[in-house]
Amino acid sequence: MTATLRVDLDDPTPPYEQLRRQLVGMIAAGDLRVGDRLPPLRQLAGDLGLAVGTVARSYRELEAAGLVTSRRGGGTRVAATPTPPDGSGTLGEEARHFAHRAASLGVGLEDAVRALRDAWS
């Protein structure tokens, strides 16, 4: 997996955010599936030439968003995203998928909203 992750140090976007966006995109696209284990912090940091704290911040933000779960000894794994049994979560899930995909492409919120408005018309 680390072969597909890249951090551009010339990009003004902080490295932790570049990594977070790419992982969100991989989860949204299904490249990373529920239960898949992310690389250990030290390994990914070494592979990408980043500080361990930078990778840890990316993982913490993914965990705060409910996309991954971390457990000592069990590593960090892609979390299951439950959908309410009545189906009311469907639109929310689709919106999250759109947001994650747009972010992984580097699209900002205003441009994503504009694209949605254009599609709605």
pLDDT in tens, 70-117: 998 889 999 986 544 454 456 666 777 788 778 888 888 999 899 889
pLDDT in tens, 23-82: 988 988 889 999 999 999 999 999 999 999 999 999 999 998 889 999 988 899 999 865
Query: For residue 96, what is the domain's CATH number?
Result: 1.10.10.10
- Residue pair 79/35 in contact by the 8 Å Cβ criterion: no
**What sign results for the dihedral spanned by CA atoms 8, 71, 30, 87?**
negative
Residue 23's SS3 state is: helix
Q: DSSP code of 32?
A: S
Which residues lie below 8 Å from residue 69, measured CB to CB, with a gap of 6+?
63, 76, 77, 79
For the entire predicted model, the pTM comes to 0.66
Q: Which domain holds residue 9?
A: 2-120
Name the domain count of the chain: 1
> Which secondary-structure segment (H or E) carries 53?
helix 52-64
Arithmetic mean of pLDDT over the chain = 86
